[in-house]
Structure formats: structure tokens, C-alpha cells
Structure 1
Amino acid sequence: MLKHADAILKLSLAAGALLAGSGAGFYYGIYLPSQDVRRQAMAMTARKVTSDRQTKALAERAKRAQAAQIAYDDCVNFADLSYKHRWTRSCQSLHDADVAAYEDCADDWFTTESSCHAKHPVRPTKDCALPGRVAQDIAGDREQRKAQCLATLQAATEDKQDS
């Protein structure tokens, strides 16, 4: 039996060495590389999430900047439209006053139509030459509104840069 015990012991030692080797091989050949792959996958996922957040933040910032620019353009367009409307209303008022003065002159029996035209020329209802002070006031109001539009745009832009 001793003879068989030696063979059994050798076989057991060989099986133990084989199991230990396969365990070490599994650990170094399969387990550790899969851990590296898992760590790399987690790092890639984290980078992707960070990249997605940055992309989303940049898209939001661009969207807000575009909205602020549109609001600024609308504000400037409104200032210009208001300027043109006030200029036309002022021209219309001057035209109406000129027509009234001309009609008063024409109603006078001692004046001729040509002398009334010379004394009281009638300005056009649009795109007339306004008196300097009126024109300056209207232009100044337009520039003030444009400055307010720009200040609003700059405030909105600064708020976006802070966030």
C-alpha cells in the first residue's frame, strides 16, 4: 500500500499544483484584466456624462444668448419704429398746422392764393424737415432707448457668463 500511497500523494500534489496554477492563472489572466476593463468602462462613462453635461450647458448658453440677441434686435427695431412713428406724427401735426394757416390766409379777401403759398408753405405729411429742437428730442429718445436695449443685452450676457 505504500507503493500506492506514493502515487496518490504525487497525484494529489500535481492536482493541487494544477489547481493553484489555474487559480493564479484565472486571477492574473481573466479576473484582473476584466477589472481593468470595468474601470476603463466606468471612467469612459464618467467622461461621457461630463461631456454630455458640458455640451448641454453650452447648448443652453447658446440658446439663451440667441434669445437675448433676438430680444435686443426686437428692442432696437421697436426704438426705430417708435422714432419713425413720432417723426411722422410730428410731420402730420406740422402739416395740419400749415394747412390751417394756409386756409386762414386763403379765407382772407385781400390776399391771393400765390401770396398765401409764399407766406404759408404746406409741409408734406411724411419725411418732412422738423424744427431742430423737435428733431433732436425725437432722435435723443431713440438713442436713449437703444442704450437701454444694449444695457439689457449686456446684463443678460453677464448673467449667463456668471452661471
Structure 2
Amino acid sequence: MSAEIVQLVEQAGPYLSAAVGAYGAQVFARAEDAAVGAATDATAGLGRRILQAVWHRQDEQGRATLASAVEDAAQEPDDADAAGALRQQIKRALREDEELRHELVELFAQLPQSSVVASGERSIASGSNSGVQITGDDAHVTR
């Protein structure tokens, strides 16, 4: 299996999980329900676009298999096996369809390239900093 496919599926994982969590089996519906749309964010939206791109390139049997994997993942959101089965369906589709690989590469290329993560007690995250940021006990700043 190509490293590109593995990387795409790993990159898609959080988006797929968000989409399945937000939309469930309805992720393939053409019209987005306004209530569902308002409750979702960009992460779930991108996951939905990924799943729909795969869906539209499948034959009837491929669609049924993909829909089943999505339904299982939606019913068991904490089941790593269900999530893995869904990722396996995406891998299979990417192996079989070079245009789909290019389409997903383009989707990911449109994402913002920077992210900021704060992890741990008293950590601070900042996309940009125009001043002093302090965490800790008895800190003093003199200007």
C-alpha cells in the first residue's frame, strides 16, 4: 500500500469520526438538514465531504459496504474496530481510484496549515502573541 494512502487515511480519521458523530448514517444525504448543519463544525463538514466523495465513486455494492461501515461506526462511536472498518473502506477506495486520491489531497491542501495545541497543566496556546503570557505561581512582570 502506498504511503500516500496511509497518510491520507490517517489525516482523514478525525474528520470521518466527526462526520459520523454529527450526521450518522445520514452523512450521504444530498440536502443537509438545517438543524444538523447548525450543530456541526468545519471538521464534521470536511469529513462529510470526504465520505460523500468516496460514496459517489462506488458501485452499488461498494456503497452498501461503505454505508454499513458508517452505520456501525455511528452506532458504536467508542468502538475502535468499527472506526477501523470504516477507515479500511476508505483505504480500499483510495487504492482503486487515483482521481479520488487527488481529490482528497486537494481537500486537505485547502486546510489551514498551522494549528496550536496546549497540552498539560498550566499550558498556554497562542496562534499569535502580542504580549506577555504567564502561567505559574507568583509570577511578576515589570514593563
Do they superpose with TM above 0.5?
Answer: no
Q: What's the TM-score once normalised by structure 1's chain length?
A: 0.26
Structure showing greater relative contact order (alpha-carbon pairs closer than 8 Å, 6 or more residues apart)? 1
Larger-Rg structure: 1
Larger helix percent: 1
